[in-house]
A and B are shown apart, each in its own frame.
Chain A
Amino acid sequence: MVNDLEAKAAAGHPLTHDEAERVLACPDLVSVGVLGELARRAHHGSTVTYGQVLVVDTDAVPGDLGGAREIRITTRPASIEAACAQVRAVAAVAGSVPVTGFSAADLLALAGGDHLVLADMAARLRDAGLSGVAFLPVDVCADAAELVRALNHGGLQVLRATVDHAATVAARLMCIERVAALQAETSALRAFAPLPRFDEAGAPSTGYDDVRTIAVARLVCAAVPAIQVDWGMYGPKLAQVAIAYGADDIDNVPAIDTLGLGHRRSPAEDIARQITAAYATPVARNGRFERAS
């Protein structure tokens, strides 16, 4: 049972390692949700933010921005010159919409593992129009704090910590604790998306795993402003249920209406409906996590 942790969750205080392990092992899933939701409300009241993202996953420059409040470049650049050229091309059509992109791990690889070179690259990307680095995969990056400092030194924010692979509950907790430690050291992160971006072949994560992970991330990473779930990757149903387990930001909501959503509503209307139906108040935000008025 985890009911004894409710007061701590409601106060927004972070759980210890042992407490987090208890929550992850708790068979009473609904009680886990109670803790996650208490922590979410302690940090954000009834507000749940969402970001409409136009993903750029090729070299092509987007023509229609739709309702985008963030343009996110997810390609893996071949060189710093190619990365800067792509940012400039996208920024030229973005107007006031923030352009984010790239994985911090990929940028470090481009820099040959040299943090001074990385800081210089960050400055060039910022000058090209990049608002922030989109992904910091904490399971991949050995020295995430040093990486964040180098990017910050070059003038780039690291917007979110992410997890590429975490096949076991223990691996998920390790990532969560790395993020908590990273935030304690740098205060740099705006968000943490704790659900793995890549499933293990033949054995995708289960709903129980996912909502427990969300809850524990919210409960452990008290200093990280937003715990995210990815609408595009995890689907509207799990994303909505995750709100009841502590998620306070729905990321990667499509910027452009698709036939898959039907003709009677836009993605923004649907995400607002989903958040409201989770007994929360939807608030749009942009790629810099600035809330819409």
Chain B
Amino acid sequence: MSVAAITDKLTAGGRLTRDEALEFYLQAPTSLLGHLADRVRQRKHPEGVVTYIIDRNVNYTNVCVARCKFCAFYRPVGSSEGYTLGFDEIFAKIEETIALGGGQLLLQGGHNPDIPLEWYEDLFRQVKARYPAFRLHALSPPEVIHITRLSQLSVPEVIQRLIAAGLDSIPGGGAEILVDRVRKLLNCYNKATADEWLGVMREAHRAGLRTTATMMYGTVETAEERLEHMFRLRDLQDETGGFTAFIAWSYQPEHTELGGEEATGIDYLRTLALSRLVLDNFDNVQSSWVTQGGKVGQLSLAYGANDMGSVMIEENVVRAAGAEYCMDEFEVVRNIESAGFVPKRRNMHYELLGDPVFRERDVPRMLELAVARNDGRAGEADDLRAYEARSAAGRRARGRA
């Protein structure tokens, strides 16, 4: 089908097939992709609101056995640079988040063999006991798979236990590209196959959780494989309706084993626009200013995005790979308004919470994102000693060799 015919089909509200999407992605001018994606955004969000969330991106550990080639954040078991945060450190981060008007942690970390399921359960319970209204958007599908392997429980059992402890929703991290050829090349097949990633999300949706979906592109995948990723998400969304949003970001190559180049800004805008067209059953598409910078992040609002993502407060993973952008709430709101939209705070379920916090009360400006530990200290917190370590290094560290 020609670009013109596909344009007509999209304009009439038709649904793209895989072949049509590929043809359009490869052949359509960027401006046409942008126009059509913007039209879909307008149809889904006619009120002209662009949302954002105030939350904190906390990485509770950088110790990881997965060893993905695209990751600059992880440290192997036994590394002198490995860390695991303690409960008190996480509580302090929650209190800082609340002070900035936030209501949620995005809690993700490495696949640390020395953190058992019980640690997560205890953490979640204590968070909920101390901060009952605070939300836990935690543990991406590969982390859930990792916990099932450590605990020898099934995915539904682990999810149910985490929900019982206080889990509110699951972030879509670790999806990378949901094609096993790509996952094998990136050495992330073993942490979760494409089917396993989707399987965790299916079970989470069945259990009543809402989740997000992500895509990290720009490594070794083909255009067809980027699209296959989107279509697999669309199929699951048709089945469960559990995804709240889609977020695409480009691979950040600095300090990674894989190395190479970062995808360009125009590639980002094209990919974002295409995702808006393919994922016609997703209500929300986020901008990734943390990987693209504030300027291209703002431009994404003209190419299909209706959400500026998170104020973030803290970020460790993307920074490790060379991207160090920062936008506080003031800056996010200024960018939304300068693009002609109305900014509204939201929660993870995309329920509107209100106007910007800084217009209601004084909030300190935040000119750089925090890190896991400000003093750069490594090592695991003392409260990990109450839990059984699985690795030899972990047992030694806890005095149980």
Contacts and interface: CB of A to CB of B under 8 A. Distances in A.
Interface string B244-274: 0000000001100001110011111100000
A292 B258 CA distance: 34
Interface residues of A, number: 37
Interface string B101-125: 0000000000000000000000000
Contacts of A210: 295
Contact of B339 (A204, A206, A240, A265): A206
Interface of B: 30-31, 34-35, 38, 253-254, 259-261, 264-269, 292-299, 302-303, 322, 334-335, 338-340, 365
16 contacts: A28-B38, A30-B34, A33-B30, A33-B34, A37-B31, A206-B298, A207-B297, A207-B335, A208-B302, A211-B299, A243-B266, A244-B31, A244-B266, A262-B259, A262-B261, A273-B264
A206 B334 CA distance: 9
B264 A277 contact: yes
Interface string A26-70: 011111011001000000000000000000000000000000000
A278 interface: yes
B335 A206 contact: yes
Contact of B294 (A27, A206, A211): A206
A178 to B, nearest CB: 24
A237 B35 contact: no
A240 B340 contact: no
B31 A30 contact: yes
A167 interface: no
A101 B30 CA distance: 37
A237 B293 contact: yes
B333 to A, nearest CB: 11
Given A30-B38, A262-B254, A208 B261 contact: no
A238 B293 contact: yes
What's the dominant secondary structure at chain A's contact region? Answer: helix
A277 B265 CA distance: 9
Interface in A244-281: 244, 260, 262-265, 270, 273-274, 277-279
A31 B36 CA distance: 12
A278 B294 CA distance: 20
A234 B365 CA distance: 23
Of A211, A241, A243, A274, most buried by chain B (CB within 10 Å of CB) is: A241
Contacts of B302: 28-30, 208
Of A28, A203, A236, A237, most buried by chain B (CB within 10 Å of CB) is: A237
B35 A240 contact: no
A202 B261 CA distance: 31
A235 interface: yes
A146 interface: no
A277 B299 CA distance: 18
A190 B169 CA distance: 56
Nearest to A34: B31
A209 interface: yes
A206 B308 CA distance: 14
Interface in A195-222: 202-204, 206-211
Nearest to A27: B340
A236 to B, nearest CB: 7
A216 to B, nearest CB: 16
Given A209-B338, A237-B292, A277 B266 contact: yes
A265 B265 contact: no
Nearest to A277: B264
B338 A241 contact: no
A267 to B, nearest CB: 12
Contacts of A270: 261
Contacts of A33: 30-31, 34
B328 to A, nearest CB: 11
A273 B261 CA distance: 10
Interface in A224-244: 234-238, 240-241, 243-244
Given A207-B294, A264-B259, A241 B340 contact: no
A203 B295 contact: no
A260 B266 CA distance: 21
Contacts of A27: 340
A106 to B, nearest CB: 29
Contacts of B34: 29-30, 33
A208 B299 contact: yes
Contacts of B38: 28, 30
A166 to B, nearest CB: 15
Given A208-B339, A277-B266, A203 B296 contact: no
A-B interface, 8 closest residue pairs, ranked by CB to CB distance from nearest = A207-B295, A237-B265, A29-B302, A30-B34, A207-B298, A207-B299, A206-B338, A277-B264
Contacts of B268: 237
Given A28-B38, A208-B302, A240-B265, 20 more contacts: A29-B302, A30-B38, A37-B31, A203-B334, A206-B294, A207-B297, A236-B264, A236-B265, A237-B292, A237-B293, A238-B265, A244-B30, A262-B253, A262-B259, A264-B260, A264-B261, A273-B264, A278-B264, A278-B266, A279-B30
A241 B260 contact: no
A236 B268 CA distance: 13
B77 to A, nearest CB: 28
A2 to B, nearest CB: 12
B298 A208 contact: yes
A244 B299 CA distance: 12
A203 B294 CA distance: 12
Nearest to A263: B259
